[in-house]
Amino acid sequence: MPADFRYRRLGYVALNVTDVERTKAFYADIVGLQAAGSAGDEHLFRCTDAHHDVVIQQSAEPGLRRIAWEMASSDDLVKIENHLSNLGLKVHIVSRQECEALGIERAIRTTQPHTGACFEFFHHMRAATQQFEPTVAKIVRLGHVVIATQDHQACEKFLLDEFNFRASDRIEGAVTFMRCFPNPLHHSLGLSNGKRNHLHHVNFMVTDLDDIGTAFYRLQKNNVPIVYGPGRHPPSGSVFLYYLDPDGMTLEFSYGMEEFPEVEPREPRLLPKSLQSFDYWGAVPTPEFAAKGEIEPLVAV
């Protein structure tokens, strides 16, 4: 039976970093996030009026800790919990205490079998007590997360068949752009065909094209490595700029993105594997692009 649970959005991303204080300063001064308190050993940040959008924790190895998805309703959370159990995946219930600290009503976690990444599914995140005030960039949301996987084809099939994601476009043998149904954004999750499983990049969407231009010069002024762009992606239509955080993990600012209707969306396109399919403008990524970011296995607490 096809999965029939529904998502609201990409909820938040949790990252491991090697120097929390250095990363906190970078996210505030360079990226434009706002500190939002803590949940145990995890430090929270936001770029919207939600309780939080990004989580960081001290670790010996930088990388992906988990990706969290907000379900459309409490019934949808129950549906996916039952579905995961029926698939034989181990489901971990997030404690009430941790849920309270994270500002969410209820949550479960499991391991996506082809990447080893922890996926969290939750229902209802509280709003922040104060409105988010943009600083160096007018960020509108955490846009998407891309994972590189050495089992790209099987991983894509699993996410489409079992997690109710929908393919928006593909670059042949390289990337699948996926949306969490029925969220309209062209992609909230990307799968890159890689030689190993790892975090590829994390994206923040901005409200103005000028945010891309000002970021380009702000990054240069602060000696932040720019590893790809500026450019414009043919699949989504987004104008992009990729750069490295203090641990060498890749972050992206992007402006604009195609949105899909829930009913009768267009079919996904298959673009050839070429530089022109990644960027209309001819930018070429550096070797450091999407190179760092280990995936931490889920450990039940």
- Burial of 113 per CB tally in 10 Å (0-12, 13-18, 19+): middle
pLDDT at 92: 97
Average pLDDT over residues 49-55: 98
227-237 burial, b at 16+ Cβ within 10 Å, e below that, comes to bbbbbbbbbbe
The domain ranges of the chain are: 7-125, 139-290
Contacts of 204 (CB under 8 A, 6+ apart): 31, 47, 137, 139, 141, 142, 143, 251, 252, 253, 254
Domains 7-125 and 139-290 share a fold: yes
The fold of 139-290 is 2,3-Dihydroxybiphenyl 1,2-Dioxygenase; domain 1 (3.10.180)
- What is the distance between the alpha carbons of residues 265 and 278, in angstroms, rounded to a whole number? 22
Res 254: pLDDT = 98
Indicate if the pLDDT at residue 2 is higher than 60.
Answer: no
Question: For residue 10, which of 147, 158, 134 has the smallest C-alpha distance?
Answer: 147
> Residue with structure tokens 């923040």?
204
Cis peptide before 182 (omega within 30 of 0): yes
Supply the pLDDT for residue 299.
74
pLDDT above 90: residue 300? no
CA 143 vs CA 22, 122, 177, 206, 247: distances in Å:
23, 18, 12, 9, 21
DSSP 78: H
Percentage of the chain modeled with pLDDT above 70: 99
Strands (E), 175-273: 175-180, 189-193, 198-206, 226-232, 239-244, 250-255, 269-271
pLDDT at 216: 98
pLDDT at position 113 is 96
What is the average per-residue pLDDT within 2-24? 95
What is the DSSP secondary-structure string of 127-164? BPSS----SSS-EEEEEEEEEEETTHHHHHHHHHHHS-
pLDDT at 245 over 90: yes
Q: Are 186 and 143 in contact (CB under 8 A)?
A: no
How large is the average pLDDT for residues 71-85?
98
Bridge partners of 228, per DSSP, are 242
Q: What is the mean pLDDT of the chain?
A: 97
pLDDT of 1: 47
Mean pLDDT, rounded, for 25-34: 98
CATH fold of 7-125, please?
2,3-Dihydroxybiphenyl 1,2-Dioxygenase; domain 1 (3.10.180)
Q: In the predicted model, is pLDDT for residue 132 greater than 50?
A: yes
Closest CA to 250 of 199, 211, 295: 199
Contact 176, 160 (CB under 8 A): no
- Digit-coded pLDDT (tens) for 156-179: 999 999 999 999 999 999 999 999
Query: Residue 26 above 80 pLDDT?
Result: yes
Distance, in Å, from the CA atom of 155 to the CA atom of 225, rounded to the nearest integer, reads 31
